[in-house]
Amino acid sequence: MTVLNRSPSTPARLAPFSNEPVLELRRAAVRARLEDALTALDRGLPLEVPVMVGDDARAGAGSRFDSTDPGDPERVVARAAQAHEGEVAAAVATAGEGFRRWSRKSAGDRALALTRAAGWMRDHRLELAALEVRECAKPWPEADADVCEAIDFLEYYARGAVALEAGRELIQVPGERNELRYAPRGVTAVVSPWNFPLAIPCGMAAASLATGNAVVLKPAEQSPACALRLVEALRAGGVPAETISLLPGTGEVGAALVKDPGVHTIAFTGSMQVGLEIVRAAAEPHRGQHHLKRVVAELGGKNCVLVDADADLDEAVPEIVSSAFVYAGQKCSAAARVLVHEAILEPLLERLAGAVRVLVVGQAADLETVVPPVIERAAKERVDRYRELAGRTGRLVAAAEPVPEGGWFCPPTLATDLPPDSPVLAEEIFGPLLTVEPIGDIEEGCEIIERLPYALTGGLFARDPATVRFVSSRTPVGNLYVNRGTTGAKVGRQPFGGNKLSGTGSKAGGPDYLLQFVEPRAVTENTMRHGIVVH
């Protein structure tokens, strides 16, 4: 065993990890606190989001862009500075400097900073959730869960990195000493989406930082203010400014960042298309770049739910509906296709239709709302296109209409009778549209799933344990959920991430995730000298 190099400030032992409890919103007293938080937030809008390169925060050098409330696009939530090319290079160079110092700290010291950042988030919990309500139209329970997940990532990876620092056991024989240690890789470019605007960038950044890397964060242009809060939390916890930089901006900022030769690891969560571009860009070494870039990618999904003839529809219907329509289906884990045993197609379709019709579409700030607006105009246009196609080539069974005006609202819709080759059944729509298809048996359903390029989440409603075993061994999805919804993975409980074209299989919130951010180094020392073993 290797002795841990602990500095005096390091806590001797972190309490075992447990998930941050979400708000108990079923209690009136807890719900009553939300409105105040939102009012307080609104008073300070719009927020200013600068480019933050080390200690330098530049608010107005280059061009600017706004993030707006998807439920009321007139409301500007944040005014952000768009990072320009020079700032990208400066941020990576600064991170390189920051890496040298940060990587020399013990994992225990780094863990302390991350757990303090988690504490800062706990202290600002409602404020952070309120910001997600406004900037990303996340309904309260979802926004709160996102803040909790961000806290979980900080706490979980902090502990994981301390454990990883001890290295792994190797075979030892007389006369040699073998050690396997994990060293940080260098600078991580974190390119994050808007749909989990705190948790996802936090997870990717926390894993990098916990293991000793420096981070340059390029958040989605739809949620710069949430990203700013993340950087503030990390810095408040004690992560040095040079170790975490923020580059708000549109796609070209991310493109410039991942191409920078000073970047070692790219942690990306987003669409398959952008993910593949990143993989291509990362594969090309630049002049003076003496390392292979590693890409950690979480991409899209076309998530199917299998429903066998013995399923309990009382359970399946609400779970499927919430998996497909909560947060307007804008989760990579959301259910998109129901594959149901033909024996129960009719009752399932009828009950799903009725359940879709009573879905409450509304503003994210209203606790009644299940389906908020989608993130932006382009998203609404995309969802509307697929919906029109589904209506033209298949049948729209039910929808919750009319939807409110003013925001980017899309009516949650249930469609069926689509041709097998329909793009509606193959492509990720990322909106409130769910399709239903009959299957002869579960095996046929598994074959359909296998033919998809994606393998992120899957659902199964079946009560025969033999069916459960069969499907778990047959489907390639990264996360299979049996007799429950397909969303809401918890850190440490459901390591999350997909296979095939859904991602690199790195499993966020799982025991193996940190290995993506380190390079293994083995040291073998000859301990025999003139026939004497010195140990």
Binding site for another protein (CB under 8 A): 18-22, 24-26, 28, 31, 140-141, 309-315, 317-318, 321, 343, 350-351, 353-355, 357-358, 360, 367-368, 463-466
Task: Check: CB of residue 402 under 8 Å from CB of residue 371.
Answer: no
Q: Read off the amino acid at residue 277.
A: E
Least CB distance to another protein at residue 30 (A)? 9
Least CB distance to another protein at residue 199 (A)? 16
Strands 47-49 and 72-81: parallel
Task: Looking at 400-482, list the stretches that DSSP marks H as alpha helix, in order from N- to C-terminal side.
Answer: 423-426, 442-451, 465-474
The residue (of 14 and 313) whose beta carbon lies closer to another protein is: 313
Helix (H) or strand (E) holding 440: none
The residue (of 22 and 281) whose beta carbon lies closer to another protein is: 22
CA distance 283 to 281: 5
The residue (of 343 and 448) whose beta carbon lies closer to another protein is: 343
The residue (of 177 and 463) whose beta carbon lies closer to another protein is: 463
CA distance 515 to 181: 11
Angle CA 457–458–460, to nearest 5: 155
Q: Where are the beta strands (DSSP E) in 411-509?
A: 413-416, 433-439, 454-455, 457-461, 479-482, 499-500
Task: Order across the sheet with 56-58: list the strands.
Answer: 56-58, 51-53, 244-246, 214-218, 187-191, 265-269, 294-298
Reduce the secondary structure of 79-111 to three states and give it as a string: EEECCCHHHHHHHHHHHHHHHHHHCCCCHHHHH
CA distance 511 to 136: 30
The residue (of 219 and 362) whose beta carbon lies closer to another protein is: 362
Least CB distance to another protein at residue 354 (A)? 2
Least CB distance to another protein at residue 321 (A)? 8
Least CB distance to another protein at residue 462 (A)? 10
The residue (of 25 and 378) whose beta carbon lies closer to another protein is: 25
The residue (of 310 and 512) whose beta carbon lies closer to another protein is: 310
Least CB distance to another protein at residue 27 (A)? 8
Q: Where are the beta strands (DSSP E) in 278-368?
A: 294-298, 303-307, 335-341
Task: Check: CB of residue 199 under 8 Å from CB of residue 156.
Answer: no
DSSP string, 287-305: TT--S--EEEEE----EEE
Task: Check: CB of residue 491 under 8 Å from CB of residue 149.
Answer: yes
Residue of 185, 158, 217, 165 lying closest to 1 (CA atoms):
165
Least CB distance to another protein at residue 37 (A)? 15
CA distance 467 to 439: 15
Least CB distance to another protein at residue 318 (A)? 6
The residue (of 102 and 325) whose beta carbon lies closer to another protein is: 325
Task: Looking at 441-527, list the stretches that DSSP marks H as alpha helix, in order from N- to C-terminal side.
Answer: 442-451, 465-474
Q: Where are the beta strands (DSSP E) in 107-193?
A: 176-184, 187-191
The residue (of 34 and 228) whose beta carbon lies closer to another protein is: 34
Helix (H) or strand (E) holding 220: none
Q: Which two tokens stand for residue 456?
A: 């992120």
Least CB distance to another protein at residue 251 (A)? 36
Q: What positions carry a catalytic annotation? A: 298, 332
Least CB distance to another protein at residue 324 (A)? 14
Task: Report the DSSP beta bridge partners of residue 525.
Answer: 177
DSSP state of 140: H
The residue (of 22 and 389) whose beta carbon lies closer to another protein is: 22
Mutual angle of helices 251-259 and 85-102, in 10-degree steps: 50
CA distance 110 to 162: 9
